[in-house]
A and B are shown apart, each in its own frame.
Chain A
Amino acid sequence: MFDEIKKILCEYSETDPEEITENSRFIDDLGMNSYNIMCAVGDLEDTFDIEVNESDVANMRTVGDVVEYIKSKQN
């Protein structure tokens, strides 16, 4: 799952893929902004067949938060 998320994030962030970890923060480490975070959320929904509530997005600050969120949605 992490690799698939990383693949999506690489479409949005110019950070070297090797440097993306579960601890990477979207804004501070990956240089993303609210707009590309929301676009990436759309891609995650398509890839993992889940629905993400906009109000949940504010609580996702790191890649690890997204991994946990998707796991919780899939369970």
Chain B
Amino acid sequence: MSEKITYPLTPAQRMHFYTQMQCSNNPEVLNIATSVLLNGDMDFETLRNSFFMTYDRYEAAHIRFSKDKSGDIFQYISNEPMNEPEFLDFKLWGKTQEDAEAELKRLAAVPFERFDTQMFRVYFLKMPNGYTGVFFVVDHMVCDSSSIIVFLGDVIEIYCNKLYDTPFPKELRSYTQALKKDLKYTGSKAEELDRIFWEETVLKDEPLFTDILGPARLDQTRKETGNPYKRSAKVTSPSVQADICTFSLEEEPSNRLIDYCKQKNVPMVCLLLSGLRTYLSKFNRYAEDISVKTTVSRRGTILERKSGGTRIHFFPFRMQFSNSMKYIDSIRKIQEMQNKIFRHANYDPIKLNVEIAKRFGNQPGESYDSVSLTYQPMSMRESNDMLKDIDYEARWISNGVAAQPYYLTVMHNPETHGLDFFWEYQKGAATPDQLEYIYYYLCKILFEVIEDDERTINEIIETV
């Protein structure tokens, strides 16, 4: 029998592994769970066959992890068949919708055995409200949200092909091909150029911590360390218990924001980043050096988009400029910075974080950013022509824990056609009321901006 081919972990995978080590009491921190439910009955036998077919064509679904004799973790592609999906018939069991949702939340928090095992679980559901479909739980070291959308999208397209004779989905791409390309980066000339970029931006001088709830966290760290000039703050918390909440902006105002971005030729994420920066400045003593965490999906080529795996890199997005700047110019500056980050996003985020801590003498858990912002323009419905006319709902389900205080994801809602502001937050860090307040404030800023972006940031701050 031939020996299996093994590969080291990528920086994106190591980053997740490191997160799990930091939250060793909550290994479920790496679980991502999603449900896709159709209004009505599904043919579960066809659905099952569709899953098995996708599994056969999706190399990334075969990723397994293992440990060598020295304790180093590696990955390989397994030939093992997919585990059978588990059937949960909440309707037959006479459960309420609340009971069913509580059970899904519980299942979302069951951690995976890390080594030599399938890193995702599939459940078929019959919900009490008449919806039927799939509940999918996966480990973040194997999948990120883009690869989940590709995985489940492929299953649904195959399902539709079998039942309704719609076109069979296009081929998926090789995970190992993308992986090899990723691993070649270490030690390359490109890596050195990226290192120089980060040296000249985040590392050139010390950033300043700002928090969405104001300067209290920084003040507390200054008090605890006896250093009144300290610029970083402790963001880790003994409790990583988390929850999610969503605030939905209606279609008409969402379209006004979208139209503004089209008209000015700026990406929506840059408008959102500028709004968040303005908010943080206003509530942190008008600071002008604001950092948030940004996520880069690193899925540019078709190979990268269709090969699955986990590719997201988190980076500090430093927005350091005067509040006397004209607002539109600040958005353009953010756009330019974002483009630069995109070009240097293959750099290992762990290496960068280690260097930041070393350079500025930070203790473990200290950071300059409290909130992470992701803009997700594409839902599963929008990425899949066949789903456009089907009455279904797809949603993310909390695993109950989070490594960072606040994650904000702004996404298009295919049902309402508006924008959803989806918060995942540590329960000890904020309350839903506080997050709602921030959401309203952020919207207030954004609508002031699109009304007249020739004003300065200071003028916008004074108006809201």
Chain A residues near B (Cβ < 8 Å):
11-14, 33-36, 38-42, 54-55, 57-58, 61
Contacts and interface: CB of A to CB of B under 8 A. Distances in A.
B42 to A, nearest CB: 28
A11 B339 CA distance: 19
Contacts of B302: 11-14
Q: How would you classify the secondary structure of chain A's contact residues: helix, strand, loop or mixed?
A: helix
Given A58-B332, A58-B335, A61-B265, A34 B342 contact: yes
B342 A39 contact: yes
B461 to A, nearest CB: 25
A34 B271 CA distance: 13
Contacts of A39: 300-301, 342-343
Given A12-B302, A36-B301, A38-B342, 13 more contacts: A11-B301, A12-B301, A14-B302, A33-B267, A33-B377, A34-B267, A35-B296, A35-B298, A36-B299, A36-B300, A38-B339, A39-B342, A42-B343
A34 B301 contact: no
Nearest to A33: B377
A12 B300 contact: yes
Interface string B315-358: 00000000000000000100110111011000000000000000
Given A58-B265, A58-B332, A34 B300 contact: no
Nearest to B339: A54
B379 to A, nearest CB: 14
B300 A40 contact: yes
A44 to B, nearest CB: 12
A57 B267 CA distance: 12
B451 to A, nearest CB: 22
B373 to A, nearest CB: 14
A31 B109 CA distance: 36
B297 interface: yes
5 contacts: A12-B300, A12-B301, A34-B335, A34-B342, A58-B266
B336 A55 contact: yes
A49 to B, nearest CB: 15
A38 to B, nearest CB: 4
A62 to B, nearest CB: 12
A24 B136 CA distance: 38
Contacts of B338: 34
Contacts of A41: 343
Q: Considering the complex of A and B, which 6 residue pairs feature the smallest CB-CB distances, nearest first?
A: A39-B300, A38-B342, A36-B300, A54-B339, A34-B267, A11-B301
Contacts of B265: 58, 61
Contact of A35 (B299, B332, B335, B340): B299
Given A33-B377, A34-B267, A57 B339 contact: yes
Interface string B272-298: 000000000000000000000000111
Nearest to A53: B336
B167 to A, nearest CB: 14
Given A34-B267, A35-B296, A61-B265, A54 B332 contact: no
Contacts of B377: 33
Contacts of A61: 265
A60 to B, nearest CB: 10
A35 B301 contact: no
Contacts of A34: 267, 269, 335, 338-339, 342
Contacts of A13: 302
A11 B170 CA distance: 15
Nearest to A59: B265
Nearest to B377: A33
A18 to B, nearest CB: 17
Contacts of B269: 34
B301 A54 contact: no
A18 B220 CA distance: 61
A11 B181 CA distance: 14
Contacts of B332: 55, 58
A38 B301 CA distance: 11
Contacts of A42: 343
Contacts of B301: 11-12, 36, 39
A33 B303 CA distance: 16
Contacts of A12: 300-302
Contact of B342 (A11, A35, A55): A35
A74 B378 CA distance: 37
B270 to A, nearest CB: 8
Contacts of A38: 300, 339, 342-343
Contacts of B170: 14
A42 B185 CA distance: 15
B300 A35 contact: yes
